[in-house]
Structure 1
Amino acid sequence: MTGWKLFLHSVSMVQRNAPQLLQIFLVPGLIVVAIAYAMLAGVPNDAELEGLGPDPATVVEIILRIVGIWLAIGVICAWTAVSWHRYVLLEEHPQGWIPAFRAKEALWYFLRLLQLVVIGSVVYGVAMFVGIALISGMGMVGLAFLLVIATLIAVFMYRLVLILPAAALGKPIGVGESLELTTGAFGTLFVLALCLFGLQLLSELILYLLIDAVLISTVLQLIFSVGLAVLNISALTTLYGYYVEKRPI
């Protein structure tokens, strides 16, 4: 199956390029952790919030900090993803432990990422609205139908992701062109998405089984989160190489 081969190729990409992966993702990842820690420091916990009451200023401050964290994560994600895509597809090797910041490509990548988030939010929002109505009227049949719709949407979103590596290479394409390039790829993308989702479930199961071992669970959660994020970025790189550049796998 092509989808399975694409998944294995993405995993192999991460394994083969472990030193370069560390050079690209380690320092930016530590920066994300530092930013999150700094911006969350001093934020009241649930007990403190109950004691303070619904103070609008406190609520606004918390929202602004959370938004700031997500914006910082988005920018750093664009920075590192651009470097990884360009390393794999253009053989631009990282120099040192801080990857080059290509402002133009990173900005395009960030905007394309926001575009996908907006499209996904709108499509899933409509699907959830319809799904709730179906479940209310049809019970389990409606739930099954909703799962089918969610699967179709997930594969549809995978057909759009070619716009991200394209932005990283400075060769932007639109969502229409991405759809055209992946025409007839439903089964392939379904298998790839299923493999990535299965790996996510496996990591969550491992963390659940280790829930009592707090330290080990926390360390593994960090490792799994970073590993899955890198694997997903590698999957995007593989898809671009396969569907746009027609590379063999």
Structure 2
Amino acid sequence: MNARTAHPMSGADVLLQLAMAVVGVWVAVAWHRYVLLEETSGPIPPFHGKRMLAYFFTALIVGLVLGFGAGLVGALVGLLTFNLMPLFVVAVFAILVCVIWVFYRLSPLLPAAALGESLGVKAAWAATEQISGAVLIAALILALSAMGLGLVVVFAVFPLSTLLGMALIAALQWAYSMVGISILTTVYGISVQGRSL
């Protein structure tokens, strides 16, 4: 069996993922600008291509740096605790918490890219110092609830209907993406623009 036979929809899958990424960035940039700049539009949000590219590359760089760092630490933890599974699980969870915390400390970089504002890593880190604890709690609640609902769908819905399970997973991903975008917008509004909650 060759690769084409094994994965007949691989090209379509790539195009679908690309389209979903473009739509996701489009929505994120439009939402940041709507809330933070009060930019109004019609039923279709404006397509800010330059801002979308800036947003995408900012998210990509932050994601790669955090992923690389978490991977290195995770590999080291795995080597040190490979015979101690409970300790390994605790360590992995701690790494996840740290990654989420660092991401939200740097999260103003994303709305800034959407708005076309100049904001460096040090400035983003300093701006979120006062609210880092609250943001981390919100992020953890979001992550744990998403994980819990995902497990329910996988173990309770998928055995009944694969199609329904896939539809629910897609709906959850979209809903939590919107909640995540709203958190980023709120963090930027409070920490950078000085808005009240």
**1:123 is matched with which residue: 60, 69, 73?**
69
Q: Per-residue deviation at 1:68?
A: 4.0
| DSSP-derived class of the 1:173 partner | coil
Q: Per-residue deviation at 1:67?
A: 4.3
1:13-54 Cα deviation digits (max 9, x unpaired) = xxxxxxxxxxxxxxxxxxxxxxxxxxxxxxxxxxxxxxxx24
TM-score (norm 1): 0.68
Contact 1:127 1:146 in 2 (8 A): no
**Alignment partner, residue 169 of structure 1:** 115
| DSSP-derived class of the 1:247 partner | coil
Q: Which residue identity does 2:137 align to in structure 1?
A: V
Q: Which residue identity does 2:188 align to in structure 1?
A: Y
* Structure with larger RCO (C-alpha < 8 A, sep 6+): 1
Contact 1:127 1:150 in 2 (8 A): no
**Do residues 75 (structure 1) and 22 (structure 2) align?**
yes
Per the alignment, do residues 112 and 200 of structure 1 end up closer, same or farther by CA in structure 2, a change over 3 Å counting? same
Name which one, 1 or 2, has greater alpha-carbon Rg: 1
1:1-249 superposed matches below 5 A: 53-55=1-3, 66-96=13-43, 98-136=44-82, 138-207=84-153, 208-214=155-161, 215-249=163-197
Tell me which moved more, 66-75 or 119-128: 66-75
Structure 2: unaligned runs, 5 residues or longer:
none
Aligned alpha-carbon RMSD (Å): 2.5
Per the alignment, do residues 235 and 127 of structure 1 end up closer, same or farther by CA in structure 2, a change over 3 Å counting? same
Per the alignment, do residues 194 and 112 of structure 1 end up closer, same or farther by CA in structure 2, a change over 3 Å counting? same
| DSSP-derived class of the 1:95 partner | coil
Aligned length, in residue pairs: 195
| Cα distance in structure 2, aligned partners of 1:126 and 1:238 | 31
